[in-house]
Amino acid sequence: MKRSPIQRKTPLAGSKMRRKPTKPRKGADPAYVTWLHGQECIALKLGGFHAGCTGRIEQSHARDITGMGRKEPDRNSVPMCTGLHRAWEQHSGYFTGWSKAERREFMATLVMAYNANFDAETRANVQAGALAGGVLAP
């Protein structure tokens, strides 16, 4: 038996519900993310084991204490090309056989180095802007 769709006699009224604006994620740092995407892949700093980076630069978070649907703060991340990021997440390629402790130590070292570089560059830019504006930086 062929059935026809149910026809509505009155049109649906427009929804009056408005979505609340989303608040920024805890630990979000847009300035760091922008800076990070301008950096080169960490493979180039690791002795060139990854012959030719593939894809764009992605932000790889140091998944330490996060659960499902959660993300580490942006400052706990490093730049990786798409190919290396995939290998890191899948424990394959260069990272095959690495223990959790080795992965944590490796990522912690890189995160500290990138945070120090970002802070130094930010400080230098602020001082350069203050000097250009005629104000002496401390």
CB 29 within 8 A of CB 73: yes
pTM surpassing 0.85? no
Element (DSSP H or E) covering residue 121: helix 100-132
Q: Is residue 137 part of a domain?
A: no
Q: Is residue 21 part of a domain?
A: no
pLDDT at 138 over 50: no
pLDDT digits (tens, 9 = 90+) for 4-50: 778 877 777 766 677 777 777 778 889 999 999 999 888 877 765 55
Distance CA 111, CA 75 (A): 7
Q: Is residue 94 part of a domain?
A: yes
pLDDT band at residue 53 under the 50/70/90 scheme:
confident
Distance CA 69, CA 67 (A): 6
The reported pLDDT for the residue numbered 80 is: 92
Distance CA 78, CA 112 (A): 10
Q: Is residue 3 part of a domain?
A: no
Q: Which two tokens mark 61?
A: 């978070």
How many independent structural domains does the chain possess?
1
pLDDT digits (tens, 9 = 90+) for 56-92: 999 998 876 666 667 788 899 999 999 889 989 898 8
User: Which residues fall within 8 angstroms of residue 135, CB to CB, at 6 or more apart?
Assistant: none
The reported pLDDT for the residue numbered 71 is: 74
Q: Is residue 7 part of a domain?
A: no
- Other beta carbons within 10 Å of 113: 13
Q: Is residue 6 part of a domain?
A: no
Q: Is residue 20 part of a domain?
A: no
Domain that holds residue 55: 30-63+73-132
Q: Is residue 83 part of a domain?
A: yes
pLDDT digits (tens, 9 = 90+) for 88-132: 989 888 888 999 899 999 999 999 999 999 999 988 888 777 666
Distance CA 71, CA 78 (A): 14
